[in-house]
């Protein structure tokens, strides 16, 4: 029986980062992946979707902005299949990169499914059908999560789609209903609308991006409507019927029931931890009623030798969250003293048009914690770089402690705002004040100047 210091289950952003860090720290490491190295994010999630979003940006500009930029086009043709083809090449390249890193760091890779025999023993069913047992001093579970079909609305890959089927299909629908106004739903809405698809987004809560600042969700909805999309918030999905033409989606709101017809429907809600097949009871690992693995802020479960990171731990279902947790878990196992995972410092990004980015506490959340806060806001309408790009919709808002002026959080809506977050999370992690942000010189003209503008407006409020 092969024995390792650390075995990692799952080779997504949490798993491969944990494995690499463990190997760097001198631990004999193995990683087990039942699908593809890189996990959902790299293969059918955040990476290929960003490739599609870049194609969508080009398509949107060619369809809508040619006069603004002095370009004349005759007979424009957009081939959506080429966008998907490019996205697959990007994913394949990164997948090969992960394989190289595994080899470079002497990490043993097993292609197959893992389950616990006991606290320190794992059963591996290889893709070849063979089985073997492995032993480990420590195990890091990075098995991720998966979409869960709604009863009576199971995806078929033709008329009813989940995110995986949506990102792989090489043709775009002429019309689609998207169920769920979270990050997945609004990003697919952005992609398809840029190519001319008639898009309807249905969200049960009263705003798009329900976990974001309400102002950001409401303003994104306004932008989507300007782009020609239909947005139905406060609206519940009742059922879906397949028709000869496509689908009829039955929904309801405070005014009653209504029907929506389209070529396809994308179900972008409902995720569950991929923990059921791991046989966690054999190792004594505790989970919630829904299967999320319970951990401390270092990723350690109730069993000292077993850690869980990323989606399967049910904290924040984001790739960079998993990577951060994986690094912390590996360092803790190696005897280092990493800082515990801090939920308040995790950046949130949605790559819609316009983008939405945030971290930390909103004003409402800070007040709930009993904090006295101040906020300041600046508009991209006054930003020279944004005007030059012809993308000046949106704003940035900073939230700080009213007495100390230490930064507590931020939310931004606008062009490339996902790239503006690191300055702010670094400032918050080091207890910097709004004055520190204001005195930090920002190059001109750049989008980042909106941060200093927001800081100045906050201090002058």
Using omega within 30 degrees of 0 as the cis cutoff, is the peptide bond preceding 43 cis? no
Query: How confident is the model over 117-162, as pLDDT tens digits?
Result: 999 999 999 999 999 999 999 999 999 999 999 999 999 999 999 9
| Contact between residue 436 and residue 375 where contact means Cβ atoms under 8 Å apart | no
Indicate if the pLDDT at residue 35 is higher than 90: yes
Indicate if the pLDDT at residue 73 is higher than 90: no
Q: What is the pLDDT of residue 66?
A: 86
Look over the chain and give the mean of its residue pLDDT values, rounded to a whole number.
96
Active-site hit among 138, 320, 348, 444: 444
DSSP 8-state code for residue 151: T
Residue 354 vs residues 63, 222, 394: alpha-carbon distances, Å: 17, 11, 8
Q: What is the pLDDT of residue 346?
A: 95
| Contact between residue 40 and residue 170 where contact means Cβ atoms under 8 Å apart | no
Q: What is the CATH number of domain 160-269?
A: 3.50.50.60
Q: What is the pLDDT of residue 67?
A: 84
Residue 393 vs residues 58, 188, 199, 306, 387: alpha-carbon distances, Å: 18, 20, 21, 47, 9
Tokens of residue 155, six digits: 């995806």
End-to-end CA distance of the chain: 67
Indicate if the pLDDT at residue 1 is higher than 90: no
Segment 59-85 shows an average pLDDT of: 92
Nearest to 95 by CA among 37, 33, 34, 168: 37
3-state secondary structure of 366: helix
Indicate if the pLDDT at residue 246 is higher than 90: yes
Query: How confident is the model over 233-245, as pLDDT tens digits?
Result: 999 999 999 999 9
Nearest to 150 by CA among 4, 268, 289, 33: 268
| Contact between residue 1 and residue 133 where contact means Cβ atoms under 8 Å apart | yes
Tokens of residue 417, six digits: 């705002």
pTM, to two decimals:
0.95
Report domain extents, the chain: 2-147+272-343, 160-269, 354-459
Q: What is the pLDDT of residue 88?
A: 97
Indicate if the pLDDT at residue 413 is higher than 90: yes
Q: What percent of the chain has pLDDT over 70?
A: 100
Give the integer Cα–Cα distance in Å for 145 and 124: 20
Give the integer Cα–Cα distance in Å for 98 and 48: 15
Indicate if the pLDDT at residue 75 is higher than 90: no
3-state secondary structure of 352: coil
CATH 3.40.190.10 fits 2-147+272-343, yes or no: no
Indicate if the pLDDT at residue 269 is higher than 90: yes
Q: What is the pLDDT of residue 65?
A: 85
Residue 208 vs residues 155, 179, 184, 325: alpha-carbon distances, Å: 23, 11, 11, 28
Q: What is the pLDDT of residue 129?
A: 94
Segment 368-383 shows an average pLDDT of: 96
Query: How confident is the model over 295-330, as pLDDT tens digits?
Result: 999 999 999 999 999 999 999 999 999 999 999 999
Q: What is the pLDDT of residue 10?
A: 98
Residue 349 vs residues 18, 27, 131, 371, 416: alpha-carbon distances, Å: 23, 33, 40, 25, 10
| Contact between residue 213 and residue 358 where contact means Cβ atoms under 8 Å apart | yes
| Contact between residue 167 and residue 49 where contact means Cβ atoms under 8 Å apart | yes
Strand order in the sheet with 373-379: 348-350, 355-360, 407-414, 395-401, 373-379
Q: Quick check: is 444 catalytic?
A: yes
Same CATH topology for 2-147+272-343 and 160-269: the answer is: yes
Q: What is the CATH number of domain 354-459?
A: 3.30.390.30
């Amino acid at each position: 029986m092969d024995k390792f210091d650390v075995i990692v289950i799952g080779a997504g952003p949490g798993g491969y980062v944990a494995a690499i860090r463990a190997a760097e720290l001198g631990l004999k490491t193995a990683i087990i992946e039942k699908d593809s190295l890189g996990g959902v994010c790299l293969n059918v999630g955040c990476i290929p979707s960003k490739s599609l979003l870049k194609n969508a940006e080009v398509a949107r500009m060619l369809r809508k902005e040619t006069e603004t930029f002095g370009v004349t086009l005759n007979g424009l043709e957009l081939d959506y299949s080429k966008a998907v083809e490019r996205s697959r090449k990007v994913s394949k390249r990164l997948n090969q990169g992960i394989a190289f890193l595994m080899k470079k760091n002497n990490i043993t890779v097993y292609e197959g499914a893992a389950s616990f025999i006991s606290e320190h023993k794992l059963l591996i069913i290889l893709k070849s059908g063979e089985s073997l047992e492995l032993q480990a001093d420590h195990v890091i579970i990075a098995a991720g999560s998966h979409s869960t079909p709604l009863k009576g609305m199971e995806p078929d890959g033709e008329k009813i789609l989940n995110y995986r089927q949506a990102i792989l299909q090489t043709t775009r629908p002429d019309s689609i209903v998207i169920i769920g106004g979270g990050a997945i739903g609004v990003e697919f809405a952005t992609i398809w609308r840029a190519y001319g698809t008639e898009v309807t987004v249905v969200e049960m809560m009263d705003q798009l991006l329900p976990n974001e600042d309400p102002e950001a969700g409401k303003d994104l909805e306004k932008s989507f409507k300007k782009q020609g999309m239909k947005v139905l918030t406060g609206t519940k999905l009742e059922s879906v019927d397949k028709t000869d033409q496509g689908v009829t989606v039955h929904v309801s709101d405070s005014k009653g029931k209504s029907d929506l017809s389209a070529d396809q429907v994308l179900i972008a809600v409902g995720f569950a931890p991929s923990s059921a097949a791991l046989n966690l009871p054999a190792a004594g690992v505790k989970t919630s009623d829904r299967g999320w693995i319970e951990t401390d802020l270092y990723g350690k479960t109730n069993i000292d030798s077993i850690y869980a990171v990323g989606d399967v731990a049910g904290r924040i279902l984001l790739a960079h969250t998993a990577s951060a947790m994986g690094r912390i878990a590996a360092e803790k196992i190696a005897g280092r003293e990493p800082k515990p995972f801090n939920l308040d410092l995790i950046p949130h990004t949605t790559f819609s048009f316009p983008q939405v980015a945030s971290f930390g506490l909103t004003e409402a959340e800070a007040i709930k914690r009993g904090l006295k806060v101040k906020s300041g806001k600046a508009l991209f309408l006054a930003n020279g770089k944004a005007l030059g790009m012809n993308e000046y919709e949106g704003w940035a808002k900073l939230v700080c402690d009213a007495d100390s002026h230490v930064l507590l959080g931020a939310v931004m809506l606008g062009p490339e705002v996902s790239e503006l977050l690191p300055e702010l999370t670094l400032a918050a992690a080091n207890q910097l004040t709004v004055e520190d942000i204001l005195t930090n010189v920002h190059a001109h003209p750049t989008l980042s100047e909106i941060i200093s503008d927001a800081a100045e407006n906050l201090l002058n409020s």
